[in-house]
Chain A
Amino acid sequence: MGILAGNRRRRWRAEHAETADPHQQVNQKLWILRLVVLAAFAALAVQLGRLQLVQGSHFQQRAALNQLRIEPMIPSRGLITDRNGVPLVANVPGFSAAIVAADIPADRDLQIAGGIEKLLGVPALETTLRIEAARKSRDPFTPVVIKDGLDQVTAFHLREQLPSLPGVQVVVDPVRRYLAGDVMSDVLGYTGRVDEEEFAALKDKGYIASDSIGQTGVEAVYEPYLRGQAGRKEIEKDATGRELRTLGEDPAKPGNDLVLSIDLDLQKKVAQLLAATPNGGQAAAVVMDVHTGEVLALVSLPSYDDNVLSGKIDETKLQQYLNDPNKPLLNHAIAEQYAPGSIFKQITGTAALQEGVATPSTTIAANGYINVPNEYDPSIVYTFPDWRTFGPLNFYGGVAWSSDVYFYYLAGGYHAYGQNFDGLGIDRLVKYAGYYGIGRKSGIDLAGEADGVLPSPDWKKQTFGDDWFLGDTYNMGIGQGFVAATPIQMVRITAAVANGGTLLVPRVVREVRDAQGHAIVPAEPKIESHIPVSPENYAIMRDAMTQAVAYGSANPAYQADLKIAGKTGTAEFGARHPDGTYDTHAWFSGFAPADNPQIAVTVFLLNGVGATNAAPLGSQILDYYLHRPQQQVAADAAAPAGQTQPEATP
């Protein structure tokens, strides 16, 4: 039965299919199509509702952000004058071509790159690659400079062509001009474009990609003051980057102005004197006010023109600078350390007086050398030479003649051949050298200062793995051996001797003023410490140094009408020559007037002899500063200030 019923059902179904009304079947299918239509629109409506109703406010924000662009307004950079108000820098307009990748229509890269090649000579391939890179970067709205340092005519031509070059901009930004050129570059430094790495860090501080920043010197150290505060401009832009209107503005605050402690007239004179020395090559000189630490002149030779490195860099000149063996880009007054030679005796001498190792009447027979037998094998004898044979010398004579033997005794003592003289010993010598700032930065407000070297038994052990010997103490006592210092470190030591033991932090910036001329960082001395040496002992040292100039080793610095105190140094360096001599640095470190010290000077020549080469220079510098006609300084200050700095006088 079951089988029969199944058969019947199957037959019925087959017949029914044949006889079923085809029209009704079609109608069923059409109803399905109607459902498909409704389903399709329902799907669209759901997604549309999700975008417009659920996420509507989110997309409204996105749309608003689309049109709004916030552009930084670059503040005008602070100006810099010398201590007498002579302007040293100017801001002049510089033109450059930049692209904003987001504003370049995707299919017009080649046309735009071609246009730029024709107008500016930048290869089209290079431009295309930079557009692509910028487009892929996180911020395609930031202008990318493709050519810097356009002259005014080219900039004008480019500006005319802008309507056919969407996404291209002529950026006008101030470029620094350095009015004094080479003479001031080691102090001022220069500004340059921020590179991509710097920009990443500065982006949040209101810098833009085509911005400039102080790279070295005062420009770098005082960047936060000079820069000012960037403003913001809210503008509405269309998709091609056309500015439609400004919605709001938060104007930029101009940077603060700097008054240097440098005296441009003196600076020029020092540079001129240094350049005129026959020894040439590398040289440095620093003049410092002994009461305030203000640096009146700071010269490093050879120098460079900071205009070459500011804004658009002249590559051939830069290569020349980089390849020059005399390293013009290095500031020899602060960034390189040398054996100080006999000018270090200021430290040994005052330490010995203070520690009671010596009194003014301590007399030592300076017979041209001393012999020191080996501690363990007395048959081995070391000889430490003097530069001359003097006979018996007291403290004044020892300093005035710069006797090495005298200072061997003071530094290391002498216990041989029946003599028993107790010296400072290395520990006390190190302690006093530390008081004077040997081995650490002077803290001058310039970038790239070197530390110098303050050697000690521990230091030697760590550096060379070797023990400290008596000979090392002798060498250090006369500023030879391991000890090394920069001219800026030495000038503040001399200033301390002159002012009675105040260790000052040298400053090249005297005062920071806001745009209205009010001092925000006032001119006041920055004292690092007071050296624990008594005024009486300093008076002895000053007398001794006055005698050095009056009749001693520093006699070439003598001036009939100016009482100068000073110390020369001739420091051996490098490899020993076959005849047993060495190359020598020439040093002079002194102050004037000797009985009422005002300024100190340290002169350094890479190659030379202290007395013959450095001392006359130091003397002329001191004499020039204290005896120059005052009206000349005033004239210098008045004339250019009125022309190039009109906004300074409201």
Chain B
Amino acid sequence: VNLRNTPTREFDFVLLLAALGLTVYGALLIYSGSLTTYGSPGRALSHPVSRQILFAAIGLGAMLVLSRFDYRAFGPLSLTLYAVTLAMLVFVMVVGASAYGSRRWIVVFGTQVQPSELAKVATVIMLAKYFSDNEENMRSLRVFLTSLLIAAAPAVLVLLEPDLGSALVFGVMWLGMVVIAGVRPAHLAGLFATVLALTPLAVVFAQNYQRDRFDIWLDPNKDPLGTGFNILQAEISIGSGGLFGKGFTHGTQTQLDYLRTQTTDYIFSVGAEELGFIGAMVLFGLFIALLFRCLRVAGLADDSFGRLIAVGVMTFILFQVFVNIGVNIRLVPVTGVPLPLVSQGGSSLITVLASLGILQSILGHRRKRGRRT
């Protein structure tokens, strides 16, 4: 039997369970966080929990389909996929739906779609393809700069929406992949030096709202009912949760609407208030399991294309988790990024689950069984 050409058909159930666990955790918090506005779910399909379950089902379907599909096929498709998502980002800027002063969505079949979520995966694949094609020239400056450009193009478009949080995701994702791909440390050092030198310029050109946000992050009491309100109330919610929390659906801050955007950007605060430090540790454990399983895929991958995809996906999930929770607990200035798999919102949920499907495919389409471990 020619084992070398037979896919392993391996499927990582731990990865699936971690992802499912996080999705359920999220759905419960969405339920609690929307009690004041929607009451109990079930009756209406428009209830946020029903919708989240629907999106999770779509995402899980996508995961299963993609796990069967040989990820290598994404190689030749990568440029097209990347170009299409870039075009969508341009499109969203022209006709996108505006919320809170930024254009982030387009409406497809009555559903809001956030192209920046799709762009994250497309960019991961594009970068992985580019790096694996240039494995021999990884130490050249040309490859380094080209890869930077690949990540920068969607980042700049997203930044113009304006969505600084998502733009940073592209940067960090690129960084993680570049380190694994193995570029010259001197190039990275040069880039850091340049970024550092340009920082004063960024401060000068920063939008007023960004500067205000930073100021208020440092001292939310400057504007306790405006921009500072969310920061203060999130801190109060989390802090008052204590070790065990106030009990599911019994968070006073959540249930009396002191917490705003409590099913999206501030969903972590709902959990921390109602389920306490212990509940938060369970969440952390699920995320660590998920991310370690992603890194396991990277370690087991057949080729650098697969490995880099796994690292890219891992990086963008990790960064979003860190920034989202960091904002909630006032470790990071206010930046709107969703908490992967947990926050309400279909685009992010489906994208992350689909990405995990690609990781399953990387695991299942290895051609050599029993590689050295």
Contact = CB atoms under 8 A, between A and B. Distances in A.
B225 A140 contact: yes
Interface residues of A, number: 42
Nearest to B258: A239
B333 interface: no
**Among A45, A52, A62, residue most surrounded by chain B Cβ atoms (within 10 Å):** A52
Given A55-B239, A135-B226, A33 B311 contact: yes
A106 interface: yes
A4 interface: no
B298 A30 contact: yes
Given A44-B322, A52-B277, A239-B256, A60 B239 contact: yes
Interface stretch (A35-43, A174-182, A332-340, A638-646): A35-43
A59 B245 CA distance: 12
Nearest to B296: A30
B276 A63 contact: no
A53 B237 contact: no
Interface in A102-133: 102, 106
A135 B179 CA distance: 49
A63 B239 CA distance: 9
B236 A62 contact: yes
Contacts of A63: 236-237, 239-240, 252-253
Contacts of B272: 48, 52
A49 interface: yes
Interface string B284-307: 100110011001001100000001
A67 B256 contact: yes
A9 interface: no
Interface in B166-183: 176, 179-180, 182
Contact of B239 (A51, A238, A240): A51
B22 interface: no
Interface stretch (A21-29, A219-227, A394-402, A414-422): A21-29
A45 B277 CA distance: 9
A53 B277 contact: yes
Given A51-B329, A52-B276, A59 B322 contact: no
B242 A60 contact: yes
Interface residues of B, number: 47
B236 A37 contact: no
A240 B258 CA distance: 8
Contacts of B281: 45
Contacts of A30: 180, 295, 298-299, 311
Nearest to B291: A37
A82 to B, nearest CB: 50
A101 interface: yes
Contacts of B225: 101-102, 106, 135, 140
A102 B226 CA distance: 10
Contacts of A62: 236, 239-240
A29 B180 contact: yes
B238 A240 contact: no
A63 B281 CA distance: 22
Contacts of B253: 63, 66
Interface in B215-267: 225-226, 229, 233, 235-243, 252-253, 256-258
A47 interface: yes
B280 interface: yes
B239 A58 contact: yes
B231 to A, nearest CB: 12
B326 interface: yes
Given A53-B243, A56-B242, A59-B238, A37 B288 contact: yes
Contacts of A106: 225-226, 229
A34 interface: yes
A25 B182 contact: yes
A53 B291 contact: no
Contacts of A66: 233, 236, 252-253, 256, 258
Interface in B36-82: 36
Contacts of B330: 47
Contacts of A60: 239-240, 242
B215 to A, nearest CB: 15
A34 B295 contact: yes
Contacts of A38: 288
A67 B246 CA distance: 15
A240 B239 CA distance: 22
B45 to A, nearest CB: 27
A135 B325 CA distance: 29
B280 A238 contact: no
Given A47-B331, A52-B243, 9 more contacts: A26-B299, A29-B179, A36-B318, A37-B318, A48-B280, A52-B272, A55-B239, A60-B239, A239-B257
22 contacts: A26-B299, A27-B299, A29-B179, A30-B298, A33-B176, A33-B311, A34-B292, A37-B295, A40-B321, A40-B322, A41-B287, A44-B329, A47-B331, A48-B280, A53-B243, A56-B239, A59-B236, A60-B239, A63-B239, A63-B240, A66-B233, A244-B256
Interface of B: 36, 176, 179-180, 182, 225-226, 229, 233, 235-243, 252-253, 256-258, 272, 276-277, 280-281, 284, 287-288, 291-292, 295, 298-299, 307, 311, 314, 318, 321-322, 325-326, 329-331
